[in-house]
Copies of this chain bind each other. A is one copy, B any other.
Amino acid sequence: MFETLETHMCFGGSLKICRHPSAATGTGMRFSVFTPAGPGPFPVLTFLSGLTCTEENFTVKAGAYKKAAELGLMIVAPDTSPRGDGVANDAAYDLGQGAGFYVDATEAPWAPHFNMYSYITRDLQDILFAQFPGDRKRQGISGHSMGGHGALTLALRNPDLYRSVSAFAPIVSPSTVPWGEKALAAYLGPDQSRWRAHDACCLLADGVGRGAFDDILIDQGSADNFLEPQLQPHLFTQAAAEAGQKVTLRLQEGYDHSYYFISTFMDDHLEFHAQRL
């Protein structure tokens, strides 16, 4: 059953925290949604968060809603994994609850619930357009870190769903960095050929999403502790150049991995999406 847990007026629109059952995850899933003032239908931006986050981090920290209200943009921020007592977990912050990686897991103990790919692209869609005045035909997707990985891979694989894509400090090559290697091995098993559909650089190399996006905007802080060990955005610009995909990668001098970085450049991303929706 769809539930609205909180409603707050915000910049003339409404901010709601909701929960609904997902067939993909077999759990109740939480998300926040900002709806501008007016009847709609509104273009919709989905924002996917990073490791350890819930739907709350973007919602309270990103400072996105003033510009979203101006642009008439709905913004949806889902949780990053299934949660609950009956759901598998791991003591590490980068696996299990809070670390869904936007894949459909095939391996034990994750397979029954860790199906965030299907959750975001199917179940969340269904509830969004049944309950809110979004325009299903005008959707964009963005995200941060693990959520940037999610935004890039979901967009490239679903250009019929998403017409614009951007990311903040994304994991672009999960097959070759520690966070991704650990998560993809756990969720998808050791056969790396099955990882390619969840690796933005591999998707570009495989021609997935070719021609769908006129540009992809990526902001990356130069003082981000994860830049070298986990993120390496140059791998994405290299793969994009080889695939003929335009990418605007902006290295932001002095910025780190936090929401202080995200909030600084949020308005640019919202305008990037609004121009394309």
Interface set of A (CB-CB < 8 Å, partner B): 8-12, 15, 60-61, 63, 65-66, 221, 223, 254-256, 258-261, 263-264, 267
Among A9, A254, A258, A261, chain B packs the most CB atoms within 10 A around the CB of: A9
Cβ-defined partner of A9 (8 Å) among B63, B65, B254 = B254
Contacts A9-B255, A61-B61, A255-B9 given; indicate if A15 touches B260 (C-beta within 8 A).
Answer: yes
CA distance A231 to B196 in the complex (A): 58
CA distance A271 to B92 in the complex (A): 45
Residues of chain B contacted by A267 (CB below 8 angstroms): 66
What are 12 A-B pairs with beta-carbon distances under 8 A? A8-B256, A8-B260, A9-B221, A9-B254, A9-B256, A9-B261, A15-B260, A60-B60, A60-B61, A63-B66, A66-B264, A66-B267
Residues of chain B contacted by A221 (CB below 8 angstroms): 9
Question: Do B8 and A258 touch across chains, with their CB atoms under 8 A apart?
Answer: yes
Q: Is the interface of A mostly helix, strand, loop or mixed?
A: mixed
> Which residue of chain B has its CB nearest to the CB of A9?
B254
Question: Do A65 and B263 touch across chains, with their CB atoms under 8 A apart?
Answer: yes
Residues of chain B contacted by A259 (CB below 8 angstroms): 60
7 interchain residue pairs of minimum CB distance? A8-B260, A63-B63, A10-B260, A9-B254, A9-B255, A60-B61, A11-B264
Question: Do A8 and B261 touch across chains, with their CB atoms under 8 A apart?
Answer: yes
Q: A9-B256, A10-B260 are in contact. List 19 more A-B contacts (CB 8 A).
A: A8-B258, A8-B261, A9-B223, A9-B255, A9-B260, A9-B261, A10-B263, A10-B264, A11-B263, A15-B260, A60-B60, A60-B61, A61-B61, A63-B66, A63-B263, A65-B260, A65-B263, A66-B264, A66-B267
Residues of chain B contacted by A261 (CB below 8 angstroms): 8-10
CA distance A65 to B260 in the complex (A): 9
Among A10, A12, A221, chain B packs the most CB atoms within 10 A around the CB of: A10
Residues of chain B contacted by A12 (CB below 8 angstroms): 264
Residues of chain B contacted by A256 (CB below 8 angstroms): 8-9
CA distance A263 to B65 in the complex (A): 9
CA distance A121 to B197 in the complex (A): 59
CA distance A65 to B221 in the complex (A): 18
Residues of chain B contacted by A15 (CB below 8 angstroms): 260
Among A66, A255, A261, chain B packs the most CB atoms within 10 A around the CB of: A66
CA distance A60 to B261 in the complex (A): 12
